[in-house]
Amino acid sequence: MSKKFETKAIRDQLERSQYLEHSSPLYLTSSFVFEDDEDMRAAFAEEKDRNIYSRFTNPNTSEFISKVCAMEGAAAGVAYATGMGAVFGTFAALLKSGDHIVSARSVFGSTHSLFTKFLPQWNITTSYFDVSQPETAAAAIQPNTKIIYAETPTNPGVDLIDLEALGALAKKHQLILVIDNCFATPYLQQPIKYGADLVIHSATKLMDGQGRVLGGVTVGNKDLIRTLYLFARNTGSAMSPFNAWVLSKSLETLAVRVEKHCENALQLATALEQHPKINWVKYPFLSSHPQYNIAKKQMLKGGNIISFELVGGLQKGKQFLNAIRMCSLSSNLGDTRTIVTHPASTTHSKLEPEDRLAVGITDGLIRLSVGLEHVDDIKEDLFNALEAL
Ligand SMILES: Cc1ncc(COP(=O)(O)O)c(C=O)c1O
């Protein structure tokens, strides 16, 4: 019997030890022991499925990876210390000097720095396509292109990219399609269904969901994952067993948490859309979202991120942050606590206004990571802050 998402997230767990524990224990150990010389030889020759050293594998990281694979419909995976560890580990393992990436223009800031500052040091270059014009992705493909990369929904613009179209494009040109699925989580969207070869997550976000630990994971095609695994094993970006243990427990409640995040977010997005001090609200499951049809096609619900534009631009954005009383001013997202950010005066303040606009960040743009507090309390805080403007 093929089990449902929630059941897999809970029941896919480590084999019980001799203590017959109900919940998986924490294996906080850097290495593992062997019976004898032959046992050790066979383990190193990979003739036996054995843990050797926790930089390579650890029962807790294996449990976490196996849960994510079950959720994403992936054959194999690698866990990393952070989401950026996963992003870097994926590109660095697959690319060599002279290779080229085609990426959506709107990507997470550190991923953008990787493309513009660090990968060029190894002669790996990137061309960008416009999220609102995915047909420009085809035009950006060169003879040396190896990877197509995108995040959907995007950060912080909450734009969507048609995964089916990207999947078809990657297949046509025999390119590796890598999708950062961090904003949607595997509960809402499974890119492998549309042809993604690899799916990346910052587990720091909704996977943990409680703002406690950092983590990253890449799952997907078995052969590609083998290359990623060997790179990770030799370069030292392993997830800590403790974080893997925390994250495995978190995944058991991912479905119920994300359901509630989405319910709160849709109610707030609908209410904010009516407010006279807001120009527009972008949330995938609002029918006013320009790509509502794509959202309905590839996402189960709209997620927990809303973006909206305040009337009055930069100054009002700063005033709005100062008028917030309960929600947090923090750079994280996907937490139980609602988080408000104003990208133009904070995360993206170093960009020229026209560069900000190119990735959809207007001066009055606010990004809301909707938490799990009672929706009435979140609404009261946001609406009081709007009244103060
Ligand atoms: C879409 C996306 N990808 C990757 C990352 C990087 O994750 P981490 O902070 O765990 O390294 C983030 C972090 O915010 C993100 O939002």
Per-residue pLDDT tens for 175-189? Answer: 999 999 999 999 999
**From the CB of 214, is ligand 1 less than 6 Å away?**
yes
**From the CB of 66, is ligand 1 less than 6 Å away?**
no
- Run of H or E residues at 23: none
> For the CA atoms of 71, 293, 303, 132, what is the dihedral angle to 10 degrees?
100
**From the CB of 248, is ligand 1 less than 6 Å away?**
no
Q: In the numeric block, which tokens belong to residue 224?
A: 């590609």
Which residues, 6 or more positions from 190, have their beta carbon under 8 angstroms from its beta carbon? 71, 72, 73, 181, 199
Kindly report the protein residue whose alpha carbon is nearest to atom 6 of ligand 1: 83
pLDDT tens digit sequence for 282-298: 999 999 999 999 999 99
Mutate to test the pocket of ligand 1, among 84, 131, 149, 246 (most ligand atoms within 8 A of CB): 84
Domain boundary assignment for the chain: 5-252, 254-387
When mean pLDDT is compared across 24-28, 64-68, 362-366, the lowest value belongs to 362-366
Kindly report the protein residue whose alpha carbon is nearest to atom 7 of ligand 1: 83
State in Å: Cα 385 to ligand 1 middle.
Answer: 28
State in Å: Cα 277 to ligand 1 middle.
Answer: 31
**From the CB of 182, is ligand 1 less than 6 Å away?**
yes
Instruction: Give 254-387's CATH code, choosing from 3.90.1150.10, 3.40.640.10, 3.40.50.920, 3.90.1300.10.
Output: 3.90.1150.10
CATH number of 5-252: 3.40.640.10
Taking the alpha carbons of 93, 96, 99, 105 in that order, is the dihedral positive or negative?
Answer: positive
pTM of the model: 0.96
Q: How far is CA 263 from CA 42, 259, 365, in A?
A: 51, 6, 22
Q: Which residue bears the tokens 């029941």?
A: 11
Task: Return the percentage of the chain with pLDDT > 70, whole number.
Answer: 100
Report pLDDT for 1.
60
State in Å: Cα 224 to ligand 1 middle.
Answer: 21
Q: What order of strands is seen across the sheet that includes strand 365-369?
A: 278-282, 305-310, 365-369, 339-341
User: Residue 116 in contact with residue 126, Cβ under 8 Å?
Assistant: yes
